[in-house]
A and B are shown apart, each in its own frame.
Chain A
Amino acid sequence: DAGVTQSPTHLIKTRGQQVTLRCSPKSGHDTVSWYQQALGQGPQFIFQYYEEEERQRGNFPDRFSGHQFPNYSSELNVNALLLGDSALYLCASSQGSRGDTQYFGPGTRLTVL
């Protein structure tokens, strides 16, 4: 049973560029949530997708956007990258928009120079 997968593993971008991160949920899960984990911090919620719609959103600017596909996989897009966007981006999947346990992928390490 495949767990949550994310790609790429690492990414280096420069300020002002745009980036797309990808996530495939655990088998049987239909809800995907994205988190940003800065160094030395706990994960911060960005947004959650269910039934191809953004259901909830954390305190992140509109530069952060996403998408969910019919197969439940998801993308996180960040425009106009800032140095402060450097972080580990985690995808988590669960069953249903009220799924109580989220299972995390290994993350994508984004470095903005």
Chain B
Amino acid sequence: AQSVAQPEDQVNVAEGNPLTVKCTYSVSGNPYLFWYVQYPNRGLQFLLKYITGDNLVKGSYGFEAEFNKSQTSFHLKKPSALVSDSALYFCAVSSGGSYIPTFGRGTSLIVHP
């Protein structure tokens, strides 16, 4: 079975500071890893994914994520946070077995002006 852990329910950061949202995963075989963002009363919006290749993945809106196989982590990062980045962030993992992603519980990111 595959699973995702997002250890922080909430992350608070000041505007202009770097942000990190943590994600660890468990899966059989090679992981496919995803980050999605959800704004209030909206669906999930795709940010970025890791399938293979370079461990540092760049995505939409200046976000990036680093795949670390030894630590089974896929943390989301951004060098300079914006107030408009405040939202709910979901990490997801799938594998070649089913390609159906399993989502974490989400992390609420709050960026303070």
Residues of chain A whose beta carbon lies under 8 Å from any beta carbon of chain B: 4, 6, 33, 40-45, 48, 56, 58, 90, 92, 97-107, 109
Contact = CB atoms under 8 A, between A and B. Distances in A.
A43 B51 contact: no
B94 interface: yes
Main secondary structure of the interface of B (DSSP, over half): strand
13 contacts: A40-B105, A41-B106, A42-B105, A43-B103, A45-B100, A58-B100, A90-B43, A90-B44, A100-B32, A102-B101, A104-B44, A105-B43, A107-B42
Contacts, number: 53
Given A56-B98, A100-B99, A104-B36, A4 B43 contact: yes
Which bracket fits the contact residues of B?
20 to 34
Contacts of A40: 105-106
A100 B105 contact: no
Interface of B: 4, 32, 34, 36, 41-46, 49, 51, 90, 92, 94, 98-106
A102 B45 CA distance: 10
B43 to A, nearest CB: 4
B43 A98 contact: no
Contacts of B4: 42
B46 A99 contact: no
